[in-house]
């Protein structure tokens, strides 16, 4: 029907890890309650939509990946709209609203969304609704929820405007053609008023279930007089509010238990990024003393018999399993302890209401239950509100049910942020806190995201140690908290630390004692798509490296490589090299005392080290942080960057460190060039553009 087609809008999502897709699905689901129909597609399905001819409003949800790139699924689309030959009015007919997802811990926040937004604007498209930029660092929902709430009114206005425009066009056509078209114009008028009626009705439409349970109706979890809210306790006003909770997501997965016969799929089948390599761990070295705040380990892998290749500066990914005892615990809570080794067949539920439902790519069609919980699902993921909503239906205790409803409701948004998101509560924590909640395996498959492989920067050179690959990491520790009574280690680093415990030996002087161990432990790795964080092609160009803590990892690879090049090419010119390294204590976590060797043999021209927590007795305290030392070397830094066209590398696990370093560089440039700060910032931007100021920052 004509009227129905006018209520359509096009909904495109570009997802990397599934978040943008999940949000698009939420929009798709809510649309019905607002009398609208979302025609939803992955942005890569370019045969299913056509922006060149699109008349209805377009909603785009797009995430960001890597160092500010749009997700892989958007590459073709972005390439197409970046075409320089497109005229500036190419999309003048298009009205759109865009929601970008990103993480402000990374450089170029929401750059995937920003890139598409900017280009659509350049090509004449118009916003019918302000762009939303959601930050995973503080909680996507802080922007996503209000953005979706406001979307409906904006969409209806856009649709109405479009209809009025069409009405006017038709009216003009009507006047300019013949009298016989008059009934058509009347029809258009009628349609407009239908839209108005629709709008009025929709104001009363329920986008979510409104629950007006009163406190006395239920066996509420908050005891009288308890003023402190917690994960399981609520206090007024939340405990007394009528709640707006999200609509129940439709079930779409069906699990069929089979026998114990067969083999699990190979881990490589879980990875879409390319080839995986199973390689032995040949060495493990504890780089820090036992009393250091963080434990840093260096692992050496034997890649000699594989086709795995790398350059210093590259990163690679480690496929890691979930913690065995957490998997056991989960099986126990699900009442499936006896069935862990049974094969299960995972299918899309017949007749599901979920649009375009498919079995998640990271779940094999047939594998054992333990395999799914160990290798496929991120069981530590922070449960999303839609998951909490679904868990309400599996909870028998009325008080627990109400609290779960509160946590996923609009009224309980700050409780969610505080007690779930900021407390890093995972499914197991929830199941402990809400013991009457008994979800099914299919629900976990529907809601838990893919267990992602973890990335690490290579800390070696193939030239220096042929057939070997080293990397360095801190064992991530999460202390217990009121919402989470048990302390935990990071999924991957905790697993690696346990795996290599038998191999561990303390570092003696530099990279530890020599001698291969007879380890048979293997891990699966695969290359991470290439980046620009490589040594300058011309060895005569000087460079500066800034890498506090484990941020030093890639620079060890750089220096090993440079040392070998110097030995092999005595006639080459080599530029000077600077390393700024920082850690807490000189005698506890100075990761690479081997740096002195690089200094002695001339590979490293200048080594600047600072210790942030060592006490000092001298009158003028030494600098604590790498940015402080940089400022002390202002003239040299400016000379290398400006006069000698050198390179500047920053690596580390903290965005604020990277920001402090770039602030220091701006100040240095400004003072040394006698330019104002804005001018200095422009120079830094140019250096970034020319890939002479390079960052490798992870959080």
> How buried is residue 46: exposed, middle or buried, by Cβ count under 10 Å (0-12/13-18/19+)?
middle
Binds ligand FAD by CB under 6 A, chosen from 129, 310, 456, 648: 456
Q: Closer to ligand FAD by CB, 38 or 425: give it.
A: 425
Q: Which positions from 291 through 330 interact with ligand FAD, judged by CB under 6 A?
A: 315
Query: How does strand 606-611 pair with strand 577-583?
Result: parallel
Between 357 and 376, how does the x/- string for binding to ligand FAD read (CB under 6 A)? --------------------
394 forms part of the interface with ligand FAD (CB under 6 A): no
- Residue 698 interacts with ligand FAD (CB under 6 A)? yes
Question: Other C-beta atoms within 10 Å of 635: how many?
Answer: 11
476 near ligand FAD, rule: CB under 6 A: yes
Asked whether the beta carbons of 506 and 286 are under 8 A apart, the reply is: yes
Considering only 63, 457, 507, 560, the residue that binds ligand FAD (CB under 6 A) is 457
Torsion angle (degrees, nearest 10) of CA 674, 679, 680, 682: -160
What gap in Å lies between CA 630 and CA 211, rounded to an integer? 58
> Which residue, 13 or 555, is less far from ligand FAD as judged by CB?
555
- The 10 Å Cβ neighbour count of residue 434 is 24
Closest separation in Å from C-beta 458 to ligand FAD = 8
Q: Are 208 and 368 within 8 A, CB to CB?
A: no
Is there binding between residue 493 and ligand FAD (CB under 6 A)? yes
**Nearest position to ligand FAD, beta carbon:** 490
- The answer to whether residue 455 forms part of the interface with ligand FAD (CB under 6 A) is yes
279, 302 in Cβ contact below 8 A? Answer: yes
* CA 528 – CA 12 distance, rounded (Å): 27
Closest to ligand FAD by CB, 249 or 652: 652
Say how many residues touch ligand FAD, by CB under 6 A: 23
Single out the residue of 399, 396, 413, 394 nearest to residue 246, CA to CA: 413
In the complex, minimum distance from the CB of residue 592 to ligand FAD, in angstroms, rounded to a whole number: 13
Give the other-Cβ count within 10 Å of 631's Cβ.
17
Smallest gap from Cβ 474 to ligand FAD, in A, equals: 5
| Of positions 473, 578, 590, 647, contacts ligand FAD by CB under 6 A | 473
Residue 424 or 438 having the CB closest to ligand FAD: 424
Helices 141-176/19-33 angle, 10° precision: 50
Going by DSSP bridges, is the β-strand pair 58-62/95-102 parallel, antiparallel, or unpaired?
A: parallel
Helix (H, G, I), strand (E, B) or coil at 406: helix
- Backbone φ and ψ of 442, nearest 5°: -60, -35
Please report whether residue 337 would count as binding ligand FAD according to CB under 6 A.
no
Of 422-451, binders to ligand FAD (CB under 6 A) are: 424
Q: Minimal distance in Å, beta carbon 477 to ligand FAD?
A: 9
534 binds ligand FAD (CB under 6 A): no
Select from 490, 547, 548, 557 the one that contacts ligand FAD (CB under 6 A): 490
**Which listed residue (122, 478, 566, 660) binds ligand FAD by CB under 6 A?**
478
Q: Which is nearer to ligand FAD, 442 or 459 (CB)?
A: 459
The C-alpha atoms of residue 631 and residue 622 are separated, in whole angstroms, by: 12
Applying CB under 6 A, the span of 182-190, 489-497, 572-580, 623-631 interacting with ligand FAD comes to 489-497
In 3D space, the residue among 100, 98, 99, 105 whose CA is nearest the CA of residue 67 turns out to be: 105
CB-based burial label for 473 (10 Å; 0-12, 13-18, 19+): buried
**Alpha-carbon distance 512 to 363, whole Å?**
41
CA distance 321 to 376: 8
Closer residue to ligand FAD in complex, CB, 33/476 = 476
Judged by CB under 6 A, does residue 16 bind ligand FAD?
no
Question: Which of these ranges, 32-40, 171-179, 227-235, 467-475, lies near ligand FAD under the rule CB under 6 A?
Answer: 467-475
Q: Give the residues lining the site for ligand FAD (CB under 6 A).
A: 315, 380, 424, 454-457, 471-474, 476, 478, 488, 490-494, 550, 553, 653, 698
């Amino acid at each position: 029907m004509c009227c129905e087609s006018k209520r359509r809008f096009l909904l495109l999502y570009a997802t990397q890890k599934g978040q943008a897709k999940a949000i698009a699905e939420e929009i798709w689901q809510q649309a019905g309650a607002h009398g609208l129909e979302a025609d939803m597609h992955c942005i890569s399905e370019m045969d299913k939509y056509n922006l060149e001819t699109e008349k209805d409003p377009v909603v785009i949800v797009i995430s960001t990946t890597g160092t500010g790139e749009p997700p892989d699924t958007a590459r073709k689309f972005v390439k197409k709209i970046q075409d320089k030959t497109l005229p500036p009015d190419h999309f003048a007919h298009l009205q759109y609203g865009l929601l970008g997802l990103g993480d402000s811990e990374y450089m170029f926040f929401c750059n995937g969304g920003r890139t598409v937004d900017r280009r659509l604007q350049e090509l004449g498209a118009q916003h019918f609704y302000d762009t939303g930029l959601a930050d995973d660092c503080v909680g996507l929902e802080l922007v996503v929820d209000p953005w979706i709430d406001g979307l409906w009114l904006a969409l209806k206005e856009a649709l109405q405007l479009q209809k009025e425009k069409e009405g006017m066009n038709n009216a003009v056509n009507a006047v300019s053609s013949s009298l016989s078209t008059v009934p058509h114009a009347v029809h258009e008028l009628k349609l407009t008023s239908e839209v108005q009626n629709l709008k009025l009705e929709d104001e009363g439409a329920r986008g979510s279930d409104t629950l007006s349970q009163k406190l006395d109706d239920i066996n509420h979890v908050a005891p009288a007089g308890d003023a402190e809210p917690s994960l399981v306790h609520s206090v007024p006003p939340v405990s007394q509010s009528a709640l707006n909770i999200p609509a129940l997501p439709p079930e779409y997965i069906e699990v069929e238990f089979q026998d114990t016969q067969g083999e699990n799929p190979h881990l490589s089948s879980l990875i879409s990024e390319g080839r995986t390599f199973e390689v032995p761990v040949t060495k493990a070295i504890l780089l820090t003393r036992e009393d250091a705040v963080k434990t840093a380990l260096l692992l050496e892998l034997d890649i000699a018999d594989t086709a795995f290749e790398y350059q210093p500066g590259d990163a690679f990914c480690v496929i890691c399993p979930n913690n065995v005892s957490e998997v056991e615990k989960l099986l126990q809570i699900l009442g499936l302890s006896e069935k862990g080794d049974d094969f299960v067949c995972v299918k899309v539920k017949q007749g599901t209401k979920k649009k375009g439902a498919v079995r998640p790519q990271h779940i094999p069609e047939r594998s054992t239950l333990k395999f799914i919980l160990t290798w496929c699902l991120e069981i530590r993921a922070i449960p999303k509100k839609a998951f909490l909503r679904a868990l309400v239906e599996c909870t028998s205790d009325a008080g627990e049910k109400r609290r779960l409803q509160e946590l996923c409701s609009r009224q309980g948004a700050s409780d969610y942020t505080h007690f779930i998101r900021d407390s890093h509560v995972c499914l197991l924590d929830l199941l402990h806190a809400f013991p009457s909640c008994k979800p099914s395996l299919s629900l976990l498959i529907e809601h838990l995201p893919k267990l992602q492989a973890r990335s690490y920067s290579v800390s070696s050179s193939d030239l220096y140690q042929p057939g070997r690959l080293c990397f360095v990491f801190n064992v991530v520790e999460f202390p217990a908290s009121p919402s989470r009574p048990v302390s935990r280690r990071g999924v991957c680093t905790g697993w690696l630390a346990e795996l290599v415990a038998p191999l561990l030996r303390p570092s003696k002087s530099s990279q530890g004692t020599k001698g291969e161990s007879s380890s048979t432990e293997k891990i699966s790795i695969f290359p991470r798509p290439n980046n620009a964080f490589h040594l300058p092609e011309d060895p005569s160009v000087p460079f500066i490296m800034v890498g506090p803590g484990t941020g030093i990892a890639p620079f060890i690879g750089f220096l090993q490589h440079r040392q070998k090049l110097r030995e092999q090419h005595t006639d080459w010119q080599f530029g000077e090299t600077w390393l700024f390294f920082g850690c807490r204590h000189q005698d506890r976590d100075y990761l690479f005392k081997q740096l002195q060797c690089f200094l002695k043999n001339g590979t490293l021209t200048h080594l600047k080290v600072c210790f942030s927590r060592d006490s000092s007795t001298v009158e003028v305290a030494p600098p604590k942080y790498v940015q402080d030392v940089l400022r002390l070397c202002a003239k040299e830094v400016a000379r290398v960057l400006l006069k000698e066209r050198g390179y500047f590398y920053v690596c580390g696990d903290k965005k604020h460190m990277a920001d402090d370093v770039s602030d220091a560089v701006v100040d240095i440039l400004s003072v040394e060039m006698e330019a104002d700060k804005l001018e200095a910032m422009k120079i830094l931007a140019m250096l970034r553009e020319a890939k002479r100021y390079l960052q490798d920052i992870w959080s």
